[in-house]
Amino acid sequence: MKNPSQKIFKELKKRIILILTLIILPVFILANHSNTVSFLKNQNQNSWITQALSAVNENNLDLSYIDENTTELMTASKYILALSAVNNPDISKINKLLDIINDNFDGNQLGSDEQLNDDFWGMLALSSIKQTENFTSIKNFILNNQNSDGGWSWAISGNSDTNDTAAAIMALLETDLNKDSSEIINALDYLQDAQNDDGGFPYIKDSQSDGSSTAWVISALNKANINPETWEINSNNPISFLESLEQSDGSYLWLASDQSGNILTTAYALIAVSGNSYPINHIDIASSDIVLVDLRIEGPEDTICLAKDLEATNVLELIEIAAQVCNYEYIIENTTYGPYLSSIAGVDADGMDGWQYWVNWEMPGLGASDFQLKNGDEILWAYGSALGIKPTKIISDHLSYELDEEFELTVKYFESGQENILANKEIRIGTDLYTSDSSGKVKITIDAPGIHQIYVSRDDSYIRSDKLHISISSDDHISQSVNLSTNIINSTPPDQISFSVSQSNIDFGDLNPGDNSYENITLTNTGNTNMYIESNITGNNLFIDSTSLNDIFWLDFSTQINVSNSDNIKVQLDIPQDYNSSGLKDGELIFWATAQ
């Protein structure tokens, strides 16, 4: 029987709070543009419409078009602008889109180094969620490519246009520049010089005024706190021109000669005439008491838990939350010094050996219940001697190599938060052992195709590293792919290694948090040699974190199938009780076959 002061915890309640900065607009804006609002609500929704409707305080907008799994920089930027406009609380979705933007930052600018519009809109998106750490570099890139006439193009060395100049002004006004900065003055001069006698603006100077270009310029003037009606030519101004394009159904024409309103022009116009600019709103994606962190738990024999984006306020609470994801038991004892984590997954503290934690590779001098986590923290719990054990890390330039291709690994350890070379340390690849040289390097050649786990071995002084999964490919090594929501991709094997998958797709259906569902599939060896099968899962993190094969985590799965034989595989998805996302999720289950 356990001591009454000990508890085995298995359940917790969690929450996350977004700190919002909401700009409240006058109610009369909605009344003045009710036809336009109705027109836009009746269209297929997109990011521009969402921002326009949000600008006039419309609520409960349809965001089903947003796909957080997009890989396109401009699309991710527009989605973030839409989500921030409506004060959307789905921080997980926003963080996925933010990752796309951050992945496209090369240290100086966003996306293509031959384009500028991706920098304008990427900066506006980042500003809308208060992620401004790279603004100086992006700002300088934009300023360095301002044309001599004061304007900007969508691309490097292109001719200036009003739309991109307006977007650049709005982006730069999110930095430390203001309307009195020389660069902004020059840009405004370019716009004013492009204005036509009808009060409107063309896309390119000396061409016909259009509704979209005029709306973009008005929004830029709104941003600079300049009344658009003061930009008057022949008693015409940008507002009067844009209003002349409004139709009885609330839509706006692109060109005065058009017969019907344009959906995008209408969205741009509503933002402009309601006195708004981009971004519509700013939100703070940092949470107040709960944050998203990553966790790894290393036991004496193997990794106990590996989980991402867990919600917790402190390091001890993280252990409680992760238990629901990784399915382990733990014991927290109440002592005179405070709560003490004495056991994880049946591994109990014993003498000088016990459980210790690191945050971002550094061991804090606080009890686990006292250390407050920040968004993005990486936490490691490991079992070892209180006299001192050190975290390790293994680094590879790539995660995929060809058969017999030589590649180099680097081994490091951390002490007092400092990264150090780890020489003469054992590295394990399956049953093979390697040793790092005096510079912490080791050269590897793998002569077996498949997915190989590589990690630094545990000993009394060093903690086992996180496992790298290196993919080795060859002409006589094939893979079969199963799309977990739609299709299995069956390619015709060219060589003697061959196997088939029994069904064309795995659709787990409609599930709620806490539910599980499984499908049985059959792998059949159709080649002329025995095969060793391994698995990999890619795609949405739900499948990566929550899929098991034959009741074991997919990463640990393997099986051998002899010639002409088959093996039944139970593919099960367990939705975490606290899973807070919704919608269609996609993943891919890959089986690798190696001749035996």
**C-alpha–C-alpha distance, residues 399 and 494, integer Å:** 25
User: What's the count of helices (H) and strands (E) in the chain, helices before strands?
Assistant: 14, 29
214: tokens are 């005029």
Phi-psi sector, 308: left (phi>0), alpha (psi -120 to 50), beta: beta
- Is 6's pLDDT higher than 60? no
Mean pLDDT of 14-41: 48
**C-alpha–C-alpha distance, residues 147 and 141, integer Å:** 12
**C-alpha–C-alpha distance, residues 233 and 397, integer Å:** 60
378: tokens are 């990486």
Mean pLDDT of 387-399: 88
**C-alpha–C-alpha distance, residues 323 and 232, integer Å:** 66
The mean pLDDT value of the chain amounts to 85
Q: Which one is predicted more confidently, 228 or 12?
A: 228
Q: How far is CA 586 from CA 326, 370, 485, 540, in A?
A: 22, 38, 6, 6
User: Is pTM beyond 0.85 here?
Assistant: no
* Residue pLDDT, tens place only, 304-361: 998 888 888 899 999 999 998 888 999 999 888 889 999 999 999 999 999 999 999 9
3-state helix/strand/coil string of 306-329? EEEEEEECEHHHHHHHHHHHHCCC
192: tokens are 């004013």
| Residue type at position 260 | S
- Is 496's pLDDT higher than 60? no
Q: How far is CA 90 from CA 47, 83, 93, 96, 285, in A?
A: 16, 9, 5, 10, 9
- Neighbouring residues of 5: CB distance < 8 A, sequence distance ≥ 6: 333, 334
Mean pLDDT of 569-590: 82
* Residue pLDDT, tens place only, 66-77: 988 888 999 999
**C-alpha–C-alpha distance, residues 120 and 143, integer Å:** 11
Residue 495: the pLDDT is 41
| Residue type at position 154 | W
Residue 32: the pLDDT is 63
Residue 281: the pLDDT is 93
Q: How far is CA 99 from CA 61, 95, 105, 566, 574, in A?
A: 24, 6, 10, 41, 26
Q: Are 273 and 229 a contacting pair, CB within 8 Å?
A: no
Strand locations in 55-207 (E):
none
279: cis peptide before it, omega within 30°?
yes
Mean pLDDT of 19-25: 25
The pLDDT > 90 percentage for the chain reads 56
Mean pLDDT of 550-564: 86
User: 291-298 and 378-385: which strand pairing?
Assistant: parallel
Q: Which one is predicted more confidently, 79 or 595?
A: 79
224: tokens are 């600079």
Reduced to 3 states (helix: H, G, I; strand: E, B; else coil), residue 500 is strand
Residue 563: the pLDDT is 86
Closest to 227 (Cα-Cα) out of 238, 214, 213: 238
**C-alpha–C-alpha distance, residues 546 and 178, integer Å:** 49
pLDDT band at 181 (very low <50, low <70, confident <90, very high): very high
Q: Are 213 and 195 a contacting pair, CB within 8 Å?
A: no
- Is 545's pLDDT higher than 80? yes
pLDDT band at 290 (very low <50, low <70, confident <90, very high): low
| Residue type at position 158 | G
Q: Which domains does the chain have, with CATH numbers?
A: 34-60+68-279 (1.50.10.20), 287-385 (2.170.130.30), 392-473 (2.60.40.10), 479-595 (2.60.40.10)
Q: Are 427 and 433 a contacting pair, CB within 8 Å?
A: yes
Render 164-201 in DSSP notation, one character per residue: HHHHHHHHHTTTT--TTSHHHHHHHHHHHHH--TTS-B
458: tokens are 């545990």
- Is 42's pLDDT higher than 90? yes
Q: Are 581 and 515 a contacting pair, CB within 8 Å?
A: no
Lowest mean pLDDT among 31-40, 305-314, 583-592: 583-592
Q: Give kind and range of the element (H or E) at residue 213.
A: helix 211-223
**C-alpha–C-alpha distance, residues 449 and 462, integer Å:** 30
Q: Work out the end-to-end distance of the chain between its first and last CA atoms, rounded to an integer number of angstroms.
A: 49
465, exposed or middle or buried, with CB in 10 Å at 0-12, 13-18, 19+? buried
- Measured at the CA of 212, the angle between CA 51 and CA 132, to 5 degrees, comes to 45
Q: Are 455 and 394 a contacting pair, CB within 8 Å?
A: yes
- Is 14's pLDDT higher than 60? no
Closest to 170 (Cα-Cα) out of 109, 111, 115, 128: 128
Residues present in the chain in total: 596
**C-alpha–C-alpha distance, residues 455 and 428, integer Å:** 6
Lowest mean pLDDT among 126-130, 132-136, 414-418: 414-418
Lowest mean pLDDT among 94-108, 503-517, 559-573: 503-517
Q: How far is CA 299 from CA 77, 90, 429, in A?
A: 41, 34, 19
